[in-house]
Chain A
Amino acid sequence: MSEGTEDGEDRPAVVTRGLGKSFGDVVAVRDLNLEIGRGVMYGLIGPNGSGKTTIIRILSGLLSASTGEAWLLGERVPARANRPRIGYMPQEMAIYTDLTVHENIDLFGEMYSIPAEERAEREDSLLAMIGLKERRDSLVSNLSGGMKHRVSLACALVHDPELVFLDEPTVGVDPELRKGFWDYFANLKARGKTVVLTTHYMDEAVRCDAVGMMRLGRMIAEGAPMELIESTESATLEDAFIAKAREESA
């Protein structure tokens, strides 16, 4: 794997080799070997505490790995040069509730050094996408939970990244909006973006091209959702997960 900055289009979007993270005696992630191709929608699924968020935080450069290495778009993590090409939506929304919708999106646009005019255009199309055009000048604190989630998503996409990490993007989102979110993700994928998301709502992850099943910091299975369901003779992805978990424990 090259450590250079030249980006061969053929290189996978995400590669990890023996990636691990411990917090004191607690091992959050162990020996993770991932390879996610470009333009793929990939889901890390598993219960809370299975290590999904830790993986996303390491890949986003917010945590350093205890063991192993990772590459994003051909560049070794952590790489500052890569940041403009990567979007990150954290689990806890992480937007400024004391700013307006516009001010939030504009701030993140500014952080990516997008020129003012282009920023305004991007913001327009993002607001249309998340259906909050008429709430542009509302304070975020006055929005509903679902609306805040949408603003958070817009902030992650303002710089039109090639690779997007979405950490539990549908937690606390009502079913109708959740469907809308999955449509956004599909739309991103259709535009050639790589989407890596985590979710513990396993059944909605069937819309991913591939999923990695995480349990106790270890990846217990990986593959296309339908293949995993069929190979375990399960009815749902959740049943498939339980079957794989039993297999691993046995």
Chain B
Amino acid sequence: MNVRRMMGVARKTLRSLRHDRRTAGFLVFMPLFMIAIFGYTFGGDLKDVDVVIVNLDAGGENGSMSAMIIEELSSGETLRLTVLEGAGAVDGEQLVRDADAWAAIVFASDFTARADAAVDAMRAGTTAYPGVLSVYLDGTNPNIAQAVLTEIATTMQRVLLAQYGLMPPIAVSGEMIYGEDAEFIDFFAPGVMGLAAMMVTFMLSIISFVHERTTGTLDRLLTTPATEGEIVGGYAAALGLVALVQSVVILVTAVLLFDVEVEGSILLVLATILLLGIGSQGLGFLLSSIAKTEFQAVQFMPIILFPSILLAGVFWPIEAVPELLRPVSYFIPLTYAVEACRSVMIRGWDLGDVWPQLLVLAAFAAAMLILSAYSLKRRR
């Protein structure tokens, strides 16, 4: 082993980095970017989960137990409470059904009275009849549903213990509006489907186009009667199909192997993936025009992929993304695809419900295609 020769190779490698300033910059910027995004994302707890409260409680001699529980719940950061004035249980339930809230807590009119009676009975050593607290839950995301129930139970326990010095029996009756049998895989599968479609179309597109540019085949195509739109559209069609095939594989595996249930239309799920795939390939195309080599193209991958993986609600809900980064989540197209797929697959929603997400994805796809074709035209 000749150390000199080995060092020669090392020197050559570092020298070529010196000539490629962008890559050298990337080597410094990338770790910074990664530690920042991972640090902030994992540093966050579940926060600001939207919950509505219907308080029908008439109170008791010592005031209203429900009011005290609500006050205590409000002081925490996990839930973002909205108290519905003059509403009934049905109104709360409807808000959950419309996905405007993750849960609705309904305090019955005799909530305090029952708690008082139960405490009296316990002190007298007679039978205490349990009170009931009804909670309507959206189980689309099992994490959120569980966190809401836990937060309610612990808060209630704290308030009642402080008030009475003992714990009257109160049953929390949770009713799942969606995702009654949902497990984490049900939440997870639509996210992975979207993520896979996005990653593969983006990566294939950026690498293919940089290759087309560096080998001259793109120029050659442009000297034929093929228009810029036809070239971009051809790629979109091919990679859109790749995304579809991939989604079918994931869907079939999830259903057969993991018993994932699809409540809504599979076609609607595939349409969502197709739009996401087309948009992502367009993004890859656009970025390929900035990259001069395949090596530079690779650098775009983490910049695009990490935020999508971490912030788009694939593995944990957007509610668990730290507030600072949450606005970024809404700029990531994958967020909308995951939301739409999840709503269709778990909630059984149809086009009438998920059209806003599909509209965002369609706009993203259209914008990327138009910009791609325009970027080809402009380079002449």
Chain A residues proximal to chain B, CB less than 8 Å: 57, 60-64, 78, 80, 83-84, 86, 88, 90-97, 108, 111-113, 155
Chain B residues proximal to chain A, CB less than 8 Å: 215-217, 219-227, 380
**B contact residues around A155 at 8 Å (CB):** 220
Report Cα–Cα, A86/B371, bound state, in Å.
28
Contact (A111, B224) CB under 8 Å given A62-B380, A63-B380, A78-B380: yes
Give the top 5 A-B pairs by smallest Cβ distance, nearest first.
A94-B216, A111-B224, A92-B216, A94-B220, A88-B223
User: Which B-chain residue is minimally distant from A109 (CB atoms)?
Assistant: B224
B21 to chain A, nearest CB (A): 18
A232 to chain B, nearest CB (A): 36
Contact (A94, B215) CB under 8 Å given A62-B380, A78-B380: yes
**A contact residues around B227 at 8 Å (CB):** 80
14 more contacts with CB within 8 A, not counting A78-B380, A113-B225, are A61-B223, A62-B219, A62-B222, A84-B225, A86-B223, A94-B215, A94-B217, A94-B220, A108-B220, A108-B224, A111-B224, A111-B225, A111-B226, A155-B220
Question: Per DSSP, are chain A's interface residues mostly helix, strand or loop, or mixed?
Answer: loop
Report Cα–Cα, A61/B221, bound state, in Å.
11
**B contact residues around A78 at 8 Å (CB):** 380
**Contact (Cβ within 8 A) A83 B225:** yes
Contact (A62, B225) CB under 8 Å given A90-B216, A93-B216, A94-B217: no
Contact (A80, B220) CB under 8 Å given A61-B380, A64-B380, A92-B215: no
A115 to chain B, nearest CB (A): 14
**Contact (Cβ within 8 A) B221 A111:** yes
**Contact (Cβ within 8 A) B217 A83:** no
Enumerate 20 A-B pairs (CB-CB under 8 Å) in ascending A order.
A61-B380, A62-B219, A80-B227, A83-B225, A84-B225, A88-B220, A90-B220, A91-B216, A92-B215, A92-B216, A94-B216, A94-B217, A94-B219, A94-B220, A95-B217, A96-B217, A111-B221, A111-B225, A112-B225, A155-B220
**A contact residues around B224 at 8 Å (CB):** 83, 108, 111-112
B226 to chain A, nearest CB (A): 5
Report Cα–Cα, A61/B224, bound state, in Å.
10
User: Which B-chain residue is minimally distant from A92 (CB atoms)?
Assistant: B216
Give the most central of B222, B225, B227: most A CB within 10 Å.
B225
Contact (A80, B225) CB under 8 Å given A62-B380, A64-B380: yes
Report Cα–Cα, A61/B215, bound state, in Å.
18
**B contact residues around A64 at 8 Å (CB):** 380
**B contact residues around A63 at 8 Å (CB):** 380
User: Which B-chain residue is minimally distant from A158 (CB atoms)?
Assistant: B224
**B contact residues around A61 at 8 Å (CB):** 222-223, 380
**Contact (Cβ within 8 A) B223 A62:** yes
**B contact residues around A90 at 8 Å (CB):** 216, 219-220
A57 to chain B, nearest CB (A): 8
